[in-house]
């Protein structure tokens, strides 16, 4: 069975959705998968045919990963843990989707059974964009070269299909907002690159909100700039080049935390108005101040930690116990807690956890200075989980959304587990055990492509 995917649109497809094949083959595939499980698991699923019926009746078909649906069902009905590596790696060809990528002219570019590898193999293939038909071009042109200062997009199609000469969909054009700060509004273009379109739409939509709250935004911008005058913010200013750029990035972060819905595509009118009402109710300037203060509190705690590391490094050098690798590890953990690109992640909830993670690391440094052996013993509890984390790609931004969320959750849980090991007296909203970490890793293995979490 073959699925044809436009070359220009391949990045918008995930292999997870194709694991289900078609209704006529799903039962055969699930039967073979259950029979291929290790004996320690398989023996509890006999008779296999009955288990297949139970699992297929229970799960929601064609939603997310088939493997995750089966693992969830097996855990629920049989109290058995199934990891991604437990499933048979080889299936008959007719139970694997075959992918065929074609260009704007309808010509075959590449075929294969593994979509992720196929994506990597065509990175260097020059894309020839399909042109929209004359009627469609006229419809698109009426939106171009026009300045918008508020929501006025009735009738605008967010996505316009492009076709080959044989009338097969060859890709899409995405309606895209562009900031025109010199003109005080936004303009519209139509882009074939969905990722570029999403980035521009985020900036353009936030700019429209900014125009709606002109006076409050002006005051908020001034507050953010003034807040970055203290010594704790020097790290951020140096990181981004200067205080002016740091201030601009901070304002963008605050705006992204205030307005959160449908930023990557042009929002519907109802959503746009609901967001304005929400922020008006809470007070844009007041809430923006709170978010800015959270960032500054985090930066102050980061500086406190950096000073703490320097002080104990000096003490260790005096007592002849200094270990360069250990203090480089402290610096690495500091970076892990608050990455250099933290303002681009638009995640206020995780930022609020940073001061607690910084405090836990300070406690660890103090205790390790007193007893290095105890610290080493505690660190061994993290080793297997850190090895799993190291097997993940450094950049997983191009992975499917479910995969990105599962990996992010695993990393956050590992940070909480580190607190529980080295500073258990620090209160938290959740307690993470080694068992919970193992379960989350199984979720990562189930959701993500095989080559990500082997």
Q: What percent of the chain has pLDDT over 90?
A: 46
Q: Which residues pair with 187 in a beta bridge?
A: 178
Average pLDDT for residues 99-126, to the nearest whole number? 72
How far from the centroid of its chain's Cα atoms is residue 283's Cα? Answer: 29
Tell me the mean pLDDT in the region 141-159.
Answer: 90
Scanning 38-80, the segments in alpha helix (DSSP H) are: 39-42, 48-58, 66-78
pLDDT value, residue 346? 65
Q: Which pLDDT belongs to residue 6?
A: 78
pLDDT at 123 over 60: no
Residues 274, 278: Cα–Cα separation, whole Å = 6
User: Is residue 382 scored above 80 in pLDDT?
Assistant: yes
Q: Give the CA angle between residues 71, 74, 80 to the nearest 5°.
A: 100
Predicted confidence at residue 266, as pLDDT, reads 92
For 260-272, the DSSP string reads -SS-SSPPPHHHH
Q: What is the average pLDDT across 60-84?
A: 83
Q: Average pLDDT, stretch 312-323? A: 92
Indicate the SS3 state at residue 6: strand
The pLDDT assigned to 240 comes to 87
> For 209, what's the count of Cα atoms within 13 Å in the CB-facing half-sphere?
32
What's the average model confidence in pLDDT over 397-422? 85
CB–CB of 220/253 below 8 Å? no
pLDDT for the residue numbered 185: 94
pLDDT digits (tens, 9 = 90+) for 70-80: 888 888 888 88
Summarised one tens digit per residue, pLDDT across range 357-375 is 999 999 999 999 999 999 9
Q: How far apart are CA 351 and CA 344, in angstroms?
A: 12
Give the residue, 155 or 118, on which the prediction is more confident.
155
- Model pTM score: 0.71
- Residue 43 tokens, joined: 């023996």
Q: pLDDT value at position 166?
A: 67
User: pLDDT tens across 325-334, in order?
Assistant: 999 999 999 9
User: Which residue did the predictor score with more confidence, 279 or 128?
Assistant: 279
**Average pLDDT of the segment spanning 95-113:** 79
Q: pLDDT tier at 125 (50, 70, 90 boundaries)?
A: low
Q: Please state, in angstroms and rounded to a whole number, the distance separating the CA atoms of residues 182 and 112.
A: 49
Residue 126's pLDDT is what? 52
pLDDT above 70: residue 134? no
- pLDDT at res. 121: 66
pLDDT in tens, 207-228: 999 999 999 999 999 999 999 9
Mean pLDDT of all residues in the chain?
86
pLDDT at 454: 45
How is the chain split into domains, by residue range?
Answer: 2-121, 134-258, 294-447
Predicted confidence (pLDDT) at residue 128 exceeds the cutoff of 60: no
pLDDT at 122 exceeding the cut of 70: no
Percent of the chain predicted with pLDDT > 70: 92
According to the model, what pLDDT value does residue 273 have? Answer: 95
With b for 16 or more beta-carbon neighbours within 10 A and e for fewer, the 109-146 pattern comes to bbeeebbbebbeeeeeeeeeebebeeebeeebeebeee
CA distance 349 to 370: 34
- 302 is written with which tokens? 């980061």
Rounded CA-CA distance 380/408 in Å is: 22
pLDDT one-digit tens code per residue, 5-55: 877 677 777 777 788 888 888 889 999 999 999 999 999 999 999 999 899
Q: What is the pLDDT of residue 393?
A: 76
CA distance 419 to 416: 5
Q: Are strands 2-6 and 98-102 parallel, antiparallel or unpaired?
A: parallel
Residue 454: Cβ within 10 Å count: 11
Split at pLDDT 50, 70, 90, the class of 140 is: confident
Q: Which of 107, 110, 84, 106 is nearest to 16 (CA)?
A: 84
Say what the pLDDT of residue 445 is: 77
Asked if residue 318 has pLDDT above 80, the reply is: yes
**Is residue 94 scored above 80 in pLDDT?**
yes
């Amino acid at each position: 069975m073959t699925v044809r995917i436009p070359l220009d649109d391949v990045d918008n497809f995930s292999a997870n959705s194709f694991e289900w094949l078609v209704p006529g083959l799903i039962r055969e595939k699930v039967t073979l998968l259950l029979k291929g499980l290790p004996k320690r698991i398989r023996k509890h699923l006999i008779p296999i045919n009955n288990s297949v019926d139970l699992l297929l009746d229970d799960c929601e078909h064609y939603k997310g990963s088939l493997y995750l649906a089966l693992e969830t069902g097996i855990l629920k009905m049989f109290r058995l843990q199934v990891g991604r590596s437990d499933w048979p790696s080889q299936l008959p060809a007719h139970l694997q989707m075959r992918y065929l990528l074609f260009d704007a002219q309808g010509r075959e570019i590449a075929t294969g059974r593994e979509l992720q590898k196929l994506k990597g193999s065509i990175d260097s293939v020059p894309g020839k964009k399909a042109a929209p038909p004359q009627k469609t071009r006229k419809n698109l042109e009426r939106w171009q070269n026009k300045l918008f200062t508020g929501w006025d997009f009735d009738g605008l199609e967010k996505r316009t299909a492009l076709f080959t000469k044989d009338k097969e969909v060859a890709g899409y054009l995405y309606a895209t907002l562009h900031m025109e700060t010199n003109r005080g509004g936004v303009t519209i273009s139509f882009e074939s690159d969905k990722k570029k379109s999403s980035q521009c739409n985020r900036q353009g939509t936030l700019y429209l909100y900014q125009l709606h709250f002109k006076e409050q935004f002006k005051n908020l911008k001034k507050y953010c700039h003034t807040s970055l005058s203290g010594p704790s913010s020097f790290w951020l200013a140096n990181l981004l080049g200067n205080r002016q750029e740091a201030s601009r990035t901070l304002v963008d972060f605050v705006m992204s935390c205030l307005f959160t819905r449908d930023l990557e595509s042009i929002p519907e009118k109802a959503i746009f108005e609901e967001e304005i009402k929400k922020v008006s109710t809470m007070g844009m300037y007041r809430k923006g101040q709170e978010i800015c203060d959270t960032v500054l509190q985090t930066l102050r705690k980061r500086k406190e930690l950096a000073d703490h590391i320097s002080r104990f490094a000096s003490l260790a050098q005096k007592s002849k116990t200094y270990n360069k690798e250990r203090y480089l590890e402290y610096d690495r953990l500091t970076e892990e807690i608050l990455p250099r690109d933290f303002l681009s992640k638009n995640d206020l909830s995780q930022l609020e956890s940073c001061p607690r993670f910084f405090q836990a690391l300070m406690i660890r440094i103090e205790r390790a200075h007193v007893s290095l052996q105890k610290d080493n013993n505690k660190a061994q509890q993290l080793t297997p989980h850190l090895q799993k984390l190291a097997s993940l790609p450094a950049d997983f931004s191009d992975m499917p959304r479910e995969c990105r969320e599962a990996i992010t959750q695993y990393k956050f849980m590992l940070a909480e587990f580190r607190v529980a090991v080295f500073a258990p007296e620090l209160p938290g909203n959740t307690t993470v055990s080694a068992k919970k970490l193992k379960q989350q890793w199984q979720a990562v293995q189930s959701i993500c492509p095989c080559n990500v979490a082997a």
